[in-house]
Amino acid sequence: MYLYKTGIPLIDREFGGLRAATNILILAPPLAYAEHLAYRIACPLPGEWTVAITTDERAADVAGAFRRQGAVMNHVGFIDAVTKTSVPTLRDTTKAKFVTSPLDLTSMGIKFSRMVEDMWKEGVMADPPGPMPPPVRLCINSVSTLLLYARLEVTFKFLHVITNRVKKLEGVGVYVLNRESFDERTIATIKQLMNMVVEVRTDDGRQPVERDFRVVGIRGRTTPWIRYLYDDGALTIEG
C-alpha cells in the first residue's frame, strides 16, 4: 500500500507516513496556524498531486504557503471560494478554479472531481510515468467556514461525498476545524467521517506562545505531543 510522507518527522520515522485512503481532521483553537500544519501534510512529493479547497484565503495566498513548503507548483490545484466575491469576472484555469462562495458546495464538489481527473490524465501521460493510481492529496481550509455558511447536515453530506472520494482515489484528505467555534455535537459529527484526528493546543501564557499537536488514531495509537513553531511564513516541527 502506498504511504504518504507527511513532513512530520515522528510520523514518517515511526509509521512510514500515512496509509492511502486516510482522512484527517485537524482540530485546533484559533490563531494556532493549524492551516500551515494542513499545508505541510498536504504538500505533494514528486509524482504526487494536491488539490487545495480554500474557503478562508485567496488561492494566490495559499499558493504562496505551498511554495514555501517546497511544493512543485504545477502539481497543485486550487479551488477558491473567496476571490470571486470581489472579482466576479475570474475564469477557471487548469490549476485554479473559482466558486462564488463557500455556500456553493455543489460547484466545489464538481470542480474537485474535474481537477482530479485532469491530474490523473497528466500522471498517466508523464514521462516517466509515476505511481498508479497517481497519489492525490486534498486539503480543505476550512470546515469551520463551511459550517458558518451551511447547516451541519448539509456540510456533513458534502464532506461525506468528499471523504469517500478520497478513499476511492486512495488519497489523503486533510480538513481544518476550529474546535472553539462549535459545540461537541458538531465536532463529533464531523469526526465520524475521519480516520484520525490531529489535536492542536496552545499555551498563551508563555512568551513566545507555545503550540503543539498530537495525532490520535494512527495505527490505533496516539502520538506524544509534538512542538511546532510558525514564524514569518516558516513552519518548523520538532522531533
Q: Give the domain ranges of the chain.
A: 22-134+143-203+219-237
Q: How confident is the model at residue 207 (pLDDT cuts 50, 70, 90)?
A: low
Pure H helices in 150-206 = 152-168, 184-191
Per-residue pLDDT, 205 = 62
Query: pLDDT at residue 14 above 70?
Result: yes
Question: What are the residues whose beta carbons fall under 8 Å from the beta carbon of 29, sequence distance 6 or more?
Answer: 178, 179, 180, 200, 201, 202
- Of residues 239 and 141, more confidence is placed in 141
Question: For residue 124, which of 115, 114, 134, 116 has the smallest C-alpha distance?
Answer: 134
Per-residue pLDDT, 123 = 80
Per-residue pLDDT, 232 = 85
| SS3 call for 102 | coil
Query: pLDDT at residue 10 above 80?
Result: yes
Contact 217, 193 (CB under 8 A): no
Query: pLDDT at residue 52 above 70?
Result: yes
Average pLDDT over every residue of 215-219: 97
Query: pLDDT at residue 150 above 90?
Result: yes
The length of the chain, given as a count of residues: 239
Per-residue pLDDT, 153 = 98
Per-residue pLDDT, 120 = 87
- Of residues 178 and 1, more confidence is placed in 178
Q: Which three cell numbers stand for residue 52?
A: 487545495
The amino acid occupying position 104 is D
Query: pLDDT at residue 17 above 70?
Result: yes
Assigned CATH class of 22-134+143-203+219-237: alpha beta
Per-residue pLDDT, 24 = 98
Buried/exposed 4-26: b ≥16 CB within 10 Å, e otherwise: bebbbebbeeebebbbbbbbbbb
Query: pLDDT at residue 1 above 90?
Result: no
Q: What is the average pLDDT score of the chain?
A: 94
Query: pLDDT at residue 23 above 90?
Result: yes
Helix axes 184-191, 152-168, angle to 10 degrees: 20
Q: How confident is the model at residue 128 (pLDDT cuts 50, 70, 90)?
A: confident
Q: How confident is the model at residue 204 (pLDDT cuts 50, 70, 90)?
A: low
